[in-house]
């Protein structure tokens, strides 16, 4: 690479000048270290770059200029050297990454938080400027970006019978919402569900930041849309250039899409998700929640916050537009020397009926917990429909 050759030449020339000036000679190892540091600063992520080179890392946790904690897939953590000599240096490094992103993301007093995609496999979140005692950064490494339901079943996330049911549900164009705590595997499961979409379909993904990464898979007829933060403010309080997930809905509907995937529902995305569901069948999404039942409360509250619908009306929208609620959990046994496992703990079918102002659900699947046995009891009417897409759906666990 020409750039690398130039860097090596510049560093070598500088080392020669030091020798001429009577300074200490650099060893070959020291010279190589300077070459690598300069290469990382120009072509990579500066002092952060060595952390990105850890292939097995899942989360990189940075607190100011303290040593960095790297969490691996099995849950254990290791300490690494600091990536900044001061908190201010870390802030400047993160600000530079945001400004270099496409689209750019601000990180300053007026924008004290930032989420930005780095390359094709990483998501960085930073918070500071008084909201945190010290600037805090977490970099998430998306390790499973091209995955199938069968592969997740092989890892023990769910039985293969459940994987077949979910695949048939995707083929039958059922609307699905995946819930779970942070890091439970929601996005990974959604990627696997997206993989089950027939290659004959054209679909779209709507995200605040690219995380599903389906657009990286060759040969998929799809469009990936991402919201933009915008800069400054206009008279009506919106930032110049701001484009939310909700704003993307009408644009997506003009893209001849068979279905729309809303990556994650946090706030205004709830209304966007229901818009997508009403526009076409087969919509899928994720949201943070502690259980399948609390997912309904969370979604209803998000929709009601918009002021267009009451909570009861929001519940009715949930009952009419969502077919399956899938809840995933992270089982963390690292505290006793074990590992972390991601598990589909529960699947509920919304029947479309209402009772006491809330949607009625049917328990389709519940993973075994302690002394409680596994439950797998799809409704006969549902099985009759799904078996048309996979005759094995009606099998036993």
Tell me, yes or no, whether 91 and 26 share the same domain. no
Q: What is the DSSP letter of 103?
A: S
Residue 167 lies in a domain: yes
Tell me, yes or no, whether 4 and 88 share the same domain. no
| Alpha-carbon distances, residue 378 vs 170, 305, 358, 394 (angstroms) | 15, 34, 21, 8
CATH number at residue 259: 3.40.50.300
pLDDT value of position 74 = 85
Q: How many domains does the chain have?
A: 3
Residues 6+ apart with CB under 8 A from 367: 158, 343, 344, 345, 346, 374
d(CA 76, CA 63): 18
Tell me, yes or no, whether 278 and 215 share the same domain. yes
Tell me, yes or no, whether 24 and 99 share the same domain. no
Higher-confidence residue of 218 and 230: namely 218
Q: Could you list the residue range(s) of the whole structural domain that residue 24 is in?
A: 1-36
pTM: 0.83
Domain boundary among 143, 169, 185: 143
Tell me, yes or no, whether 128 and 163 share the same domain. no
pLDDT value of position 245 = 87
Residue 299 lies in a domain: yes
Residue 329 lies in a domain: yes
Q: Which two tokens stand for residue 54?
A: 């850890």
Tell me, yes or no, whether 91 and 109 share the same domain. yes
β-partners of residue 286 are 178
- Which whole number is the average pLDDT over 208-230? 89
Tell me, yes or no, whether 192 and 308 share the same domain. yes
Domain boundary among 105, 123, 143: 143
Tell me, yes or no, whether 103 and 154 share the same domain. no
pLDDT value of position 28 = 75
d(CA 122, CA 120): 6
Residue 214 lies in a domain: yes
Domain boundary among 143, 174, 194: 143
The confidence band for 338, taking pLDDT boundaries of 50, 70 and 90, is confident
d(CA 171, CA 282): 8
Residue 44 lies in a domain: no
pLDDT value of position 389 = 94
**What are the pLDDT digits (tens) for 107-134?**
999 899 999 988 888 999 999 999 999 9
Q: Is the pLDDT of residue 235 over 70?
A: no
Tell me, yes or no, whether 29 and 110 share the same domain. no
In this structure, which long-range contacts are made by residues 365-374, counting pairs with CB atoms below 8 Å and at least 24 apart in sequence?
365/162, 365/165, 367/158, 367/343, 369/345, 374/159
Distance of alpha carbon 227 from the chain centroid: 14
Residue 238 lies in a domain: yes
């Amino acid at each position: 690479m020409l750039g690398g050759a130039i860097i090596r030449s510049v560093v070598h020339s500088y080392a020669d000048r030091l020798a001429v000036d009577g300074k200490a000679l650099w060893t070959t190892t020291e010279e190589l270290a300077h070459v690598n540091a300069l290469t990382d600063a120009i072509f990579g992520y500066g002092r952060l770059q060595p952390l990105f080179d850890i292939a097995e890392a899942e989360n990189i946790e940075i607190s100011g200029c303290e040593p960095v904690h790297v969490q691996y897939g099995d849950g254990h953590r290791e300490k690494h050297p600091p990536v900044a000599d001061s908190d201010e240096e870390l802030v400047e490094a993160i600000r530079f990454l945001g400004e270099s992103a496409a689209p750019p993301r601000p990180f300053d007093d007026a924008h004290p938080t930032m989420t930005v995609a780095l390359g094709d496999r990483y998501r960085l979140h930073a918070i500071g400027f008084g909201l945190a005692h010290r600037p805090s950064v977490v970099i998430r490494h998306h390790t499973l970006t091209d995955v199938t339901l069968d592969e997740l079943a092989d890892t023990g996330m769910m039985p293969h019978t459940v994987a077949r049911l979910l695949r048939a549900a995707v083929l039958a164009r059922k609307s699905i919402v995946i819930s779970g705590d942070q890091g439970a595997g929601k996005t990974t499961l959604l990627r696997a569900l997206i993989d089950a979409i027939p290659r004959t379909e054209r679909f779209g993904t709507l995200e605040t930041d690219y995380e599903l990464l389906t657009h990286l898979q060759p040969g998929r007829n799809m469009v990936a849309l991402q919201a933009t933060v915008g800069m400054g403010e206009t008279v009506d309080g919106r930032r110049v250039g701001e484009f939310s997930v909700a704003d993307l809905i009408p644009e997506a509907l003009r893209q001849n899409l068979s279905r729309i995937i809303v990556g994650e529902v946090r706030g205004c995305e709830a209304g966007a998700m229901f818009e997508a569901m009403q526009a076409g069948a087969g919509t899928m999404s994720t949201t943070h929640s502690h259980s399948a039942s609390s997912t309904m409360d969370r979604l209803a509250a998000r929709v009601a916050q918009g002021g267009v619908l009451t909570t009861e009306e929001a519940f009715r929208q949930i009952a009419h537009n969502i077919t399956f609620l899938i809840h995933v959990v992270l089982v963390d046994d690292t505290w006793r020397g074990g590992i972390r496992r991601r598990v589909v703990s529960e699947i509920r079918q919304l029947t479309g009926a209402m009772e006491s102002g809330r949607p009625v659900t049917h328990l389709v699947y519940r993973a075994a917990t302690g002394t409680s046995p596994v439950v797998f009891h799809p409704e006969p009417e549902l099985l009759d429909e799904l078996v048309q897409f996979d005759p094995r759906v009606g099998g036993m666990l």
